[in-house]
Structure 1
């Protein structure tokens, strides 16, 4: 009987540990989104906070990948593009962070699981392979970002977040044009 009690107790402890591990498995995007849903539930800011979270994650990604380009790229044009991403997106990230703080929006402080996996994948690439794949990613990513920022600028409810999005569209369009130029030169 003591053995059975011990086995049942141990099984319960393992299950509790497994549940605790799964509950702590939220990535940074999920965590920020959940905090915003609680804090901003049923307010006009709820949808705008989703944009802010996604924009922050995108900005973090651009900076991290830009830093990676400085070390893993072989083309000077790709390295220069990466440096531009670090400079421009660091500035935009700081602006968004200040705006979010003013609006009580929680932003992620690290890449979410999907972006971290992609970063880890790219960290293994070097030279021409990195150059080609990074620039393809930057073209695709900036096309998506432009759509998201235009959507926020037109349909957002918060005037400050709408203005932030509208103000960043020309910068994102410039990044897209530069990314396309560098990508085409790599062929």
Structure 2
């Protein structure tokens, strides 16, 4: 069970973003690293290039990152994530975590889990307001409803109660925050827009606190 829901959520979010890009342009599709490096190596061999493969790969990666910045986004998990997609995911994730926190406060068997959920509600209410403020300044409108992957998580946990809910919720919080930390770390370094980058920088320490708390609590209730 460990990591399963996270992998489903991350995969669904990535697939959703990829579908969106395919509909508008196929030029942003970046192969997996190994295939990417192999294609560069094959091209060099076919051209009889005397340059080192590592040099060619560095140049290709630099070109990819330049393209990502020019497109108003950054590379995450070998795909282009636009700043709009990043903000939309952040808004939807905050809405999801507020809904889950309310659910847990009503049905949890453990006061420590309810306390954690209260922290999630407080922090993500503030985060949602900040995301909407940043998006508004960029002439964007975050979603008013949950993304399908986030709705699926809510639907699944809504069927549980008591100890089973506590265990599944805390595992999900661990996995979700691992994914978010990886994404926000990239955004904090690579997001082209100052307000988006600053939001990622400010949010990262909070996400790390959430993950640390979730790790400790999940091990206690198992």
Q: Same fold judged by TM-score > 0.5?
A: yes
Q: What are the ranges of 5 or more consecutive residues in structure 2 without an aligned counterpart?
A: 1-15, 25-69, 74-80
Alpha-carbon deviation of 1:115?
A: 1.7
Q: TM-score, normalised by structure 2?
A: 0.64
RMSD: 2.0
Structure 1: which 4+ aligned runs deviate by more than 2 Å?
Answer: 42-46
Once residues 183 and 99 of structure 2 are traced to their aligned partners in structure 1, the CA distance between those partners, rounded to angstroms, is 20
Alignment of 1:158-177 (within 5 A): 158-177=193-212
- CA deviations 1:52-97 (Å, max 9, x no partner) are 1111111111111111110121100111111110000000110111
Show the counterpart of 2:174: 139
Alpha-carbon deviation of 1:43?
A: 5.5
Show the counterpart of 1:15: none
Show the counterpart of 2:183: 148
Q: TM-score, normalised by structure 1?
A: 0.75
Q: What are the ranges of 5 or more consecutive residues in structure 1 without an aligned counterpart?
A: 1-28
Once residues 71 and 148 of structure 2 are traced to their aligned partners in structure 1, the CA distance between those partners, rounded to angstroms, is 28
The alignment partner of 2:82 has SS state of: helix
Contact 1:72-1:123 at 8 Å conserved across structures: no
Alpha-carbon deviation of 1:105?
A: 1.5
Contact 1:70-1:83 at 8 Å conserved across structures: yes
